[in-house]
Amino acid sequence: MSHRITALTDPQPAASSRRLAWLASDDEGAPVASAFLRLFAKAGQEHLAELEIAVHRTERRRGVGTRLLETAVAAARDDRRRSLLAQAENGSPGDLFLAARGFRRVLALTYARLPLADADLKRIDEIVQQPHEGYRLIQWEGTVPPDLARTFAESRRAMDDMPMDGTDYGTVAWDVDRVLSAAEAIAKRGELLHTVAVVDTADGSVVGFSELVVPGNGRGDAQHYGTGVLPEHRGHGLGLWLKAESIRRARERHPELGGLLTDTADSNTHMRGINDTLGYLPTHKAVEYQLDL
């Protein structure tokens, strides 16, 4: 059976990236596979592309995935990209596919879920109530308040030294415009962005944060988008404090939520310890692959 590859147009380009897309169809025109190539556009990541390929299980091992991969790799090279990233669940067909086609493993990830019905809310409340001299917690929904926007954007460098092992991820430069654009993109999807931040009481600046994205109807599972503390403020238990408060507020604000999802690099032992303390349970593992172009 032959397959036809059709290039598609992404209807929603983002401020920080754009996407190329292809659809594979069979002789009768039925879609059987797709590929999406994300081309990062912000300074510090112009060398990077990210690939997602999905092939219907009945069409695997017939060459369509390889054709889509070749098409995407050619497009990435034409755009002068240096590194191509792709992720697959550990041991899955996608894992085997990438490993057999020149990609190398660069990062191992553990995905975990906190089932809110079983969460130890008393323990979480105790963590939140513990005083941290010189710091206080604040929170907001949606876009960051204007008086906090500058120092919140500056606090994003807390993620710069997040363990990425061998991944050629580049640097993510955050400014106020990017912070506002990210919040706007989440709102346009119909989802709710909740942010808990820790403030240095000496000058009122944001020195750490934890972001959670909740489905618009307040049901199902919410997704953690990141928790970080600036290096000069670490060692005070602020990461655990932030994430515990994020859980408490999610439970209070959205009583019908089922759980909270997170993913963490296996080498990030500190954050894995926080997740374990708060009751997150591993659900599956994934592998980040990289192809050097």
The total domain count for the chain is 2
Q: Do the bridges between strand 48-55 and strand 31-40 make them parallel or antiparallel, or are there none, so unpaired? A: antiparallel
For 19, the domain range is 4-81
CA–CA distance, 39 with 10 (Å, rounded to integer): 12
Judge if 63 and 119 occupy the same domain.
no
Judge if 173 and 250 occupy the same domain.
yes
Report whether 274 contacts 246 (CB < 8 A): no
Q: Check residue 276 and give its pLDDT.
A: 96
Position 9 pLDDT exceeds 90: no
Judge if 158 and 204 occupy the same domain.
yes
Q: Which two tokens stand for residue 260?
A: 């909270």
What pLDDT digit, counting tens, does each position of 113-160 carry?
A: 999 999 999 999 999 999 999 999 999 999 999 999 999 999 999 988
Cα–Cα–Cα angle for 233, 167, 68, rounded to 5 degrees: 140
Mean pLDDT of the chain: 93
Judge if 131 and 267 occupy the same domain.
yes
Position 162 pLDDT exceeds 80: no
Considering the domain boundaries, does residue 31 fall inside one?
yes
CA atoms lying within 13 Å on the CB side of residue 42: 16
* pLDDT bucket at 11, cuts 50 / 70 / 90: low
CA–CA distance, 77 with 81 (Å, rounded to integer): 5
Please tell me the least confidently modeled range out of 72-86, 150-164, 176-190, 265-279: 150-164
Which whole number is the average pLDDT over 199-221? 97
Considering the domain boundaries, does residue 103 fall inside one?
no
Judge if 203 and 271 occupy the same domain.
yes
CA–CA distance, 173 with 156 (Å, rounded to integer): 8
Judge if 76 and 206 occupy the same domain.
no
Considering the domain boundaries, does residue 106 fall inside one?
no
Considering the domain boundaries, does residue 88 fall inside one?
no
Sequence-ordered list of residues with C-beta below 8 angstroms from that of 73, at least 6 positions apart, any chain: 84, 291, 293
Position 209 pLDDT exceeds 70: yes
CA–CA distance, 147 with 30 (Å, rounded to integer): 53
What pLDDT digit, counting tens, does each position of 68-115 carry?
A: 999 999 999 999 999 999 999 999 999 999 999 999 999 999 999 999
How many percent of the chain have pLDDT more than 70? 98
Task: Give the domain-ending residue among 81, 96, 121.
Answer: 81
Tokens 């997170």 locate to: 262
- Eight-state DSSP code of residue 232: G
Using CA atoms, how far residue 278 sits from 99, 114, 213, 221, in Å, is 34, 8, 18, 16
Considering the domain boundaries, does residue 19 fall inside one?
yes
Using CA atoms, how far residue 147 sits from 57, 150, 151, 153, 205, in Å, is 51, 7, 9, 12, 10
| 226-260 core/surface letters (b: 16 or more CB in 10 A; e: else) | ebbbbeebeebebbbbbbbbbbbbbbeebeebbbb
Q: Which two tokens stand for residue 142?
A: 């949606």
Judge if 66 and 186 occupy the same domain.
no
Q: Check residue 285 and give its pLDDT.
A: 96
Which whole number is the average pLDDT over 233-249? 97
Position 271 pLDDT exceeds 90: yes
Which whole number is the average pLDDT over 272-292? 96
Judge if 262 and 144 occupy the same domain.
yes
Position 15 pLDDT exceeds 80: no
Considering the domain boundaries, does residue 166 fall inside one?
yes
Considering the domain boundaries, does residue 96 fall inside one?
no
Judge if 189 and 236 occupy the same domain.
yes
Position 28 pLDDT exceeds 70: yes
CATH number of the CATH domain containing 200: 3.40.630.30
Q: Check residue 1 and give its pLDDT.
A: 59
What are the residue ranges of helices labelled H in the chain? 64-78, 93-99, 121-129, 149-155, 176-188, 238-253, 269-278
Position 55 pLDDT exceeds 90: yes
